[in-house]
Structure 1
């Protein structure tokens, strides 16, 4: 299973032409997502493609680039397989168990955003050390319990300190969005990339806000009782 991120002309028929080219190269398309439409008349799309045993990933790149105006910007193995959870499915899962909305947000974010890991990072006001209430199994450590991006006002791409590279942060493209106030954030990371786009940042922030709203509603209901 591979993740292909491509730039293609944002015009009728372009997506179908790419899909046909991938099919001819032996690729079985599992999912397609339009990630971002850009001002220059192009779009950024993610394809999750499965190859048969013996299939070569470079054939997928060649197939895409055989289509006029198409450029491959990323190719990597996709560890989440075909069990893809999208934004609405994540919201539905959080709504089903609202008391655990923040933990579910962490658990589901990697599959929703084609990332490798996610974590919830908290640093209460007046303290020097950050803590990680929830994290996926393969999330890196926080060196010296530091989260220099907190407090956080808005979604950001993280600039990873060079000193963190030996703690699992080497070549990581990561982003953080506030969850339930400036002292807490959801962080997602991709090992090696691709970079997290503005549209993905906006979706991530929206999903985090929904998780907070869902969990707060349960807390408020309990307070009323």
Structure 2
């Protein structure tokens, strides 16, 4: 199964090359790299998808990356998404093929696109919220949140991190990550932009 790690590193030439070399020497075969954020303080955050050589433990890759000056692994997990990072453009292309029914196909693509454990589409009701659609791991009850833009949401436990974004006037999308990592501002911006595109596609 592929391994996905999120790495913080100095935003200077050569940093990503050092990380890639360390991963290769530790037994990881890189399949894809996605830049998650360029921060104003001179740091970058990247997601790296890789396959591990037989018999090699993920800890060896984590240790190799953390041993580099200025590099820190923020998060590591198995990644059972077919071995590909599902980029935003691919989502938009897929939604475009569905046209008016694009919103009905959106939620199922969000866990892979944003590396979350689940996603759900909620509709406002007089009693609070109704779950319109949800992926398999979503909780049976999710509270409504008044949202004007994508943002993090208060957690209901010590394990899951939540974020949400408005979809339509009476609908929102909520996503959850069990055990991290935290949602970055750049990810929240992507989420808001992608949901806006989905709504536009459904109305075209």
With the shorter chain as reference, the TM-score category is over 0.9
Post-superposition offset of 1:180: 1.3
Equivalent position of 2:160 in the other structure: 172
TM-score by length of structure 2 reads 0.94
Equivalent position of 1:31 in the other structure: 32
Structure 1 unaligned residues grouped into runs of 5+: 218-225
Post-superposition offset of 1:139: 1.4
Between the aligned partners of 2:35 and 2:29, the Cα distance in structure 1 is 18
Equivalent position of 2:152 in the other structure: 157
TM-score by length of structure 1 reads 0.85
Between the aligned partners of 1:216 and 1:56, the Cα distance in structure 2 is 48
Q: Which protein has the bigger strand share?
A: 2
Structure 2 residue matching 1:80: 3-state secondary structure: coil
Count of aligned pairs between the two proteins: 203
Structure 2 residue matching 1:55: 3-state secondary structure: coil
Between the aligned partners of 2:182 and 2:53, the Cα distance in structure 1 is 28
Between the aligned partners of 1:65 and 1:83, the Cα distance in structure 2 is 24
For residues 54-107 of structure 1, what are the alpha-carbon distances to aligned partners after superposition, in whole Å with 9 as ceiling and x for unaligned?
Answer: 211110111112222111111122232413311000000000111221122101
Equivalent position of 1:46 in the other structure: 47
Between the aligned partners of 1:25 and 1:103, the Cα distance in structure 2 is 42
Between the aligned partners of 2:85 and 2:135, the Cα distance in structure 1 is 16
1:205 paired with 2:202, answer no
Equivalent position of 2:66 in the other structure: 65
Equivalent position of 1:92 in the other structure: 93
Between the aligned partners of 2:40 and 2:165, the Cα distance in structure 1 is 25
Post-superposition offset of 1:53: 3.0
Q: Higher Cα Rg: structure 1 or 2?
A: 1
Kindly report which structure 2 residues correspond to 1:66-215, keeping only aligned pairs within 5 A, or say none.
66-124=67-125, 127-142=126-141, 147-149=143-145, 151-161=146-156, 165=157, 171-181=159-169, 183-215=170-202
What stretches of structure 1 move > 6 A for 4+ residues in a row? none
Between the aligned partners of 2:151 and 2:13, the Cα distance in structure 1 is 33
Post-superposition offset of 1:39: 1.8
Between the aligned partners of 2:85 and 2:12, the Cα distance in structure 1 is 26
For residues 142-185 of structure 1, what are the alpha-carbon distances to aligned partners after superposition, in whole Å with 9 as ceiling and x for unaligned?
Answer: 1xxx5241x32121101023xxx4xxxx511111000012x211
Equivalent position of 2:203 in the other structure: 216
For the aligned residue pairs, the C-alpha RMSD in angstroms reads 1.4
